[in-house]
Amino acid sequence: MRFWPAPAPVVGARPAELPRDLRHQIDEGYLVAVSALRLAVKNGVILRILRDGAAWSEPQAIALAREALETLIAEQRAGAERLSEESVRAAPTPRESRAASSKRERAKVRRKRDEADRLAARSRTLLGVVEKLEAARDDEAFLHELALRARAETLDELMQARLIPREPAMEQSEEERRESIAGVLADLQRLMDERTGY
């Protein structure tokens, strides 16, 4: 016998959201990974030009792309393994599941199970991204496209930097220059005095 009415269903309430399709999540993860690869290759090219004064070299840019891809694959695989281990740790033990007799305990077991499922799904997604990255690693056309895109983006950035308007150089007399330098030296001496206590 019930002493209170059963809760009425809420009209228009959204059902619990279902996890998105795994294939879709893998595709999105792969797009993010490729974007990170492009950035890594572009930064590598810029670093070689600025630090080493090296000219553009397509084979070296492809080598940078291959190295960035290997690093990303290792990172994604390590992330998938870590999430898989966390999923096992987050899951309720069989003893917890059997002993859950109250509504609160069953809800706790359900939350732990949901968290374990979420972590396992993320691990499967990362493993799917790793699989796609490994296929890309063997695709010379993909690596070539990464290198050429890095070159184009580097040139775009350099051109944008050249087009930024600069203020004209400030003209100073010899006396004004000496006063400016003396002021900077006085500030430095004051800072040194404060730091050393002398």
Q: Is residue 75 part of a domain?
A: yes
Range of the domain at 38: 22-163
Kind and range of the H or E run holding 46:
helix 22-52
Residue 92 CB coordination number (10 Å): 19
Question: How many domains, in total, are found in the chain?
Answer: 1
Query: Does any domain span residue 37?
Result: yes
pLDDT, tens digit, 9 for 90 and up, residues 121-130 = 899 999 999 9
Domain presence at residue 9: no
- Report yes or no on 146 lying in a domain: yes
Does residue 183 form part of some domain?
no
Within a domain: 194: no
Spatial distance between the Cα atoms of 62 and 152, rounded to a whole number of angstroms: 14
pLDDT in tens, 155-195: 887 777 666 666 666 777 888 888 888 887 777 777 777 76
Structure tokens at 60: 């070296």
Q: Tens of pLDDT along 29-88?
A: 999 999 999 999 988 888 887 778 778 888 988 999 999 999 999 999 999 999 999 998
198 domain-assigned: no
Domain membership flag for residue 30: yes
What's the pTM?
Answer: 0.64
